[in-house]
Amino acid sequence: MKLHAWPASPYVRKVLAMAVETGLREQIELIRTNPGDPDSPIGEDNPIGKIPTLITDEGDALYDSRVICEYLDGLHEGPRMFPPAGPERWQASRWAALGDGILDAAVLRMYERRRPEGERSPDWDVRQREKVFRILDQLEKDEMKTFGKGMNIGLIAIACALGYLDFRFPDEKWRLPHQGVGMWFFTFGKQPLMADTEPVEAI
Ligand SMILES: N[C@@H](CCC(=O)N[C@@H](CS)C(=O)NCC(=O)O)C(=O)O
């Protein structure tokens, strides 16, 4: 399999973390693809023009990150990262949506920061930041009571989102009002799926 990937992308990290956890990492060859480059060929494999995009051994293109993760989950013999339909599945799916919600807002903030100064909207940035902190509040208040020592797509998504906040917004100190989530992430982050997929700044 081939994966269009960029070293700083948190969505790519989610796919790679999933691949490490399920023992599939060595079957995935990375194609260095910068989706922000106007000459990037990503549109030929993915009309949305985004990474991660997976090219399967059969030559099919799969996107987005959650679809790729679900595909990978069908390729290994270990414990499922997507639980079967039922309460456990909907809980994991809600966590995956919350993790992606942090990422969507945080990645949009990064794009906004790269616009020319006069074109940036401080109000819009505040709105995205509020989303991130509202999600963190819900994780702290409700969701993390049931995180336990488990492993599923929702927890992987949340961990990759927290890692992205550390990578891109270290000054915002998300742990201060969310210490329970911070403690969970401290332990979860030591596992190979996170330690082996740390984001790297790339040019
Ligand atoms: N929902 C998508 C989001 C992927 C995404 O936004 N990737 C970014 C890189 S971190 C990208 O390719 N951006 C290019 C663009 O927005 O044109 C997923 O989960 O895979």
- Taking the centre of ligand 1 as the mean of its atom positions, its distance from the CA of residue 187, in whole angstroms, is 28
The pLDDT score that the predictor gives to residue 121 is 93
Q: Whose CA is nearest to atom 6 of ligand 1?
A: 50
Find the mean pLDDT for residues 73-82: 98
Q: Which ligand 1 atom sits nearest the alpha carbon of residue 51?
A: 12
List 53's β-bridge partners, or say none.
Answer: 4
Q: Is the pTM of this model over 0.95?
A: yes
- Taking the centre of ligand 1 as the mean of its atom positions, its distance from the CA of residue 51, in whole angstroms, is 5
Mean pLDDT score across all residues of the chain = 97
| Widest Cα–Cα separation across the chain | 53
Distance CA(173)–CA(171), nearest Å, equals 6
Task: Kindly tell me if the per-residue pLDDT of 203 is higher than 80.
Answer: no
Report the residue among 6, 9, 11 best suited for mutation to probe ligand 1: largest number of ligand atoms under 8 A from its CB.
11
Q: Which residues does a 6 A CB cutoff place in the pocket of ligand 1?
A: 9, 11, 35, 49-52, 64-66, 107
- Taking the centre of ligand 1 as the mean of its atom positions, its distance from the CA of residue 50, in whole angstroms, is 4
List 32's β-bridge partners, or say none.
Answer: 5
List 62's β-bridge partners, or say none.
Answer: 54
pLDDT digits (tens, 9 = 90+) for 130-186: 999 999 999 999 999 999 888 999 999 999 999 999 999 999 999 999 999 999 999
Distance CA(25)–CA(187), nearest Å, equals 22
Q: Which ligand 1 atom sits nearest the alpha carbon of residue 107?
A: 10
Distance CA(139)–CA(82), nearest Å, equals 20
Task: Kindly tell me if the per-residue pLDDT of 68 is higher than 90.
Answer: yes
Question: Checking phi first, is residue 151 left (phi over 0); if not, alpha (psi -120 to 50) or beta?
Answer: beta
Asked whether the CA dihedral 125, 131, 134, 139 is positive or negative, the reply is negative
8 A C-beta contact, residue 60 and residue 68: no
pLDDT digits (tens, 9 = 90+) for 80-100: 999 999 999 999 999 999 999
- Taking the centre of ligand 1 as the mean of its atom positions, its distance from the CA of residue 52, in whole angstroms, is 7
What the block records as the tokens of 82 is 């997507």
Distance CA(16)–CA(150), nearest Å, equals 18
- Taking the centre of ligand 1 as the mean of its atom positions, its distance from the CA of residue 165, in whole angstroms, is 16
The pLDDT score that the predictor gives to residue 25 is 98
Task: Kindly tell me if the per-residue pLDDT of 190 is higher than 80.
Answer: yes
Q: Which ligand 1 atom sits nearest the alpha carbon of residue 100?
A: 19
**Confidence tier at 202 by pLDDT (50, 70, 90):** confident
The pLDDT score that the predictor gives to residue 130 is 98
